[in-house]
């Protein structure tokens, strides 16, 4: 059965104006400015959006699907993130990862949770590895994990410039990056090295050295949390024109913090003249947001959710930025970097991952792979153990 969506103010993510879409078998079958004539007997539904914005489902490349935390003892380990915690905020594709705790959490459990989210209706992939070296893997090899395990698209989040990292050397990072790059070539996957940046003064120097002293392509280095320090963010803006995509984390920032919020970072990145296509925004959903003292002891903590993405989107639109300008860092840019060919855009042949925004720029209807997950702000589909 088919779904006909009419009178959508379509952002694909570029502005297309009022359009009509035909959806079936989990895909967008047709998009047209003219009304689509379909035999009513073939239609499961006809939905008139009356000019409401229709945007691609958000692609969140940094999510602790098994739960993050654990940096102040076992009692601070977070629970796995449930399905509706993504879809409620317009997220239809996620890339899961391990963080600080790659000891009691494993690649096997990460793969299992990734596959569970797929069974529940989300599109999901994962990074192999965690903060530390030698990298946590399932097969014993980063290259083999990427080549042989379908959902694994790259390596992450390897920690650098952070007191929680394994303090990797230049040679260790170079050798690991070469494994990731070759694995991507062999498997036609992203082959990206997703790098956690800490508060350390070395900042992005390890990445600059890899780019200067190896033949590895810039596109494979994807540093994240680059807005956690203002000086680090300036480094990221200088790195992007060379071909690396940098990732901003949509976390809350207090007025006295030496950091930029997701919205502030988006504005400053574009003001810097860096290529717009070299910026992505992720949520760190399910992850711990710790604050440490200068001795490495945790002072306080919070946990991130995918709401950070829609909060950032709404804030930027509230500041007067165009929806077509803001959307790519949450959709198309992410999908292109990660080589997810049917994600991040709305066009015939693409997966039917669709989000309708309300007048507050918040998701009111969310479709993932052709199935309505949220209608009128209410979750129609929940995870197996929700509720």
Copy the structure tokens of residue 247.
Answer: 């990732």
What whole-number percentage of the chain has pLDDT above 70?
97
What whole-number percentage of the chain has pLDDT above 90?
87
pLDDT surpasses 80 at 262: yes
Residue-wise pLDDT for 59-77, tens only, equals 999 999 998 776 677 777 7
Provide the pLDDT for residue 357: 98
Residue-wise pLDDT for 99-123, tens only, equals 888 988 999 999 999 999 999 999 9
The single-letter DSSP state of residue 239 is H
Residue-wise pLDDT for 152-162, tens only, equals 999 999 999 99
Residue-wise pLDDT for 92-102, tens only, equals 999 999 988 89
Residue 195 backbone phi and psi in degrees, to 5: -110, 120
Residue 204 backbone phi and psi in degrees, to 5: -90, 10
- Mention the CATH class of domain 2-55+342-379: mainly beta
Q: Among residues 8, 79, 12, which one has the least CA distance to residue 48?
A: 8
Copy the structure tokens of residue 82.
Answer: 């449930």
Provide the pLDDT for residue 154: 98
Residue 155 neighbours by CB under 8 Å, 6+ apart: 127, 128, 129, 135, 142, 146, 176, 179, 180, 192, 193, 194
Provide the pLDDT for residue 67: 86
Question: What number is the average pLDDT over the span 170-183?
Answer: 98
Which is the catalytic residue, given 101, 284, 311, 351? 284
Helix axes 205-213, 170-187, angle to 10 degrees: 70
Provide the pLDDT for residue 70: 60
Residue 45 neighbours by CB under 8 Å, 6+ apart: 3, 4
User: What does the alpha-carbon distance between residue 213 and residue 169 come to, in Å, rounded to a whole number?
Assistant: 13
Residue-wise pLDDT for 211-252, tens only, equals 999 999 999 999 999 999 999 999 999 999 999 999 999 988
Provide the pLDDT for residue 75: 72
What are the DSSP calls for 287-333, one per residue? Answer: -EEEEE-TTS-EEEEEE--THHHHHHHHHHHHTT--HHHHGGGGTHH
User: What does the alpha-carbon distance between residue 291 and residue 268 come to, in Å, rounded to a whole number?
Assistant: 24
Q: Which of 12-26, 35-49, 277-291, 324-338 has the lowest mean pLDDT?
A: 277-291
Provide the pLDDT for residue 291: 67
CATH topology of domain 57-337: TIM Barrel (3.20.20)
Residue-wise pLDDT for 305-325, tens only, equals 899 999 999 999 999 999 999
Provide the pLDDT for residue 289: 66
Q: Which of 182-196, 284-298, 349-363 has the lowest mean pLDDT?
A: 284-298
Active site residue 284: yes
The single-letter DSSP state of residue 35 is P
Residue extents of the structural domains in the chain: 2-55+342-379, 57-337
Provide the pLDDT for residue 273: 96
The overall average pLDDT reported for the chain is: 95
Provide the 10 A C-beta neighbour count for residue 387: 7
Burial of 140 (0-12, 13-18, 19+ CB in 10 A): exposed
Provide the pLDDT for residue 189: 98
Provide the pLDDT for residue 301: 67
Cα–Cα separations (whole angstroms), residue 228 to 116, 140, 250: 32, 33, 10
User: What does the alpha-carbon distance between residue 54 and residue 64 come to, in Å, rounded to a whole number?
Assistant: 27
Helix axes 307-318, 262-271, angle to 10 degrees: 50
Question: What number is the average pLDDT over the span 3-31?
Answer: 98
In which band, very low, low, confident or very high, does the pLDDT at 79 lie, cut at 50, 70 and 90? confident
Binding residues for Zn(2+): 62, 64, 196, 225, 284
pLDDT surpasses 90 at 80: no
């Amino acid at each position: 059965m088919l779904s006909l969506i009419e009178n959508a103010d379509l952002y694909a993510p570029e502005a297309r104006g009022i359009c009509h879409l035909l959806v079936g078998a989990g895909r967008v079958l047709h998009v047209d400015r003219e009304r689509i004539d379909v035999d009513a007997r073939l239609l499961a539904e006809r939905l008139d959006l009356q000019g409401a914005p229709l945007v691609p489902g958000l692609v969140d490349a940094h999510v602790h699907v098994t739960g993050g935390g654990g940096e102040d003892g076992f009692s601070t380990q977070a629970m796995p993130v449930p399905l509706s915690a993504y879809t409620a905020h317009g997220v239809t594709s996620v890339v899961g990862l391990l963080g600080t705790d790659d000891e009691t959490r494993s690649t096997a459990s990460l793969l299992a949770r990734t596959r569970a989210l797929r069974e529940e209706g989300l599109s999901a992939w994962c990074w192999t590895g965690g903060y530390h070296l030698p990298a946590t893997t399932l097969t014993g090899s980063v290259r083999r994990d990427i080549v042989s395990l379908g959902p694994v698209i790259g390596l992450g989040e390897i920690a650098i410039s952070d007191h929680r990292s394994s303090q990797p050397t230049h040679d260790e990072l170079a050798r690991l990056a070469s494994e990731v790059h070759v694995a991507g070539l062999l498997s036609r996957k992203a082959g990206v090295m997703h790098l956690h940046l800490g508060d350390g003064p070395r900042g992005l120097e390890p990445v600059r050295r890899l780019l200067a002293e190896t033949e590895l392509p810039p596109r494979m280095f994807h540093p994240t949390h680059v807005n956690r320090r203002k000086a680090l963010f300036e480094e990221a803006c200088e790195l992007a024109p060379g071909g690396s995509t940098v990732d901003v984390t949509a976390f809350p920032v207090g007025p006295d913090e030496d950091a930029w919020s997701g919205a502030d970072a988006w504005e400053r990145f574009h003001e810097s003249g860096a290529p717009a296509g070299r910026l992505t925004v992720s949520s760190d959903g399910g992850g711990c947001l710790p604050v440490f003292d200068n001795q490495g002891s945790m002072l306080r903590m919070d946990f991130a959710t995918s709401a950070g993405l829609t909060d950032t989107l709404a804030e930027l639109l509230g500041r007067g930025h165009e929806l077509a300008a803001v959307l790519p860092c949450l959709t198309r840019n992410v999908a292109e970097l990660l080589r997810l060919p049917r994600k991040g855009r709305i066009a015939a042949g693409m997966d039917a991952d669709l989000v309708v925004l309300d007048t507050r720029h918040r998701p009111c209807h969310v479709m993932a792979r052709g199935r309505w997950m949220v209608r009128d702000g209410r979750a129609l589909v929940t995870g197996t153990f929700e509720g």
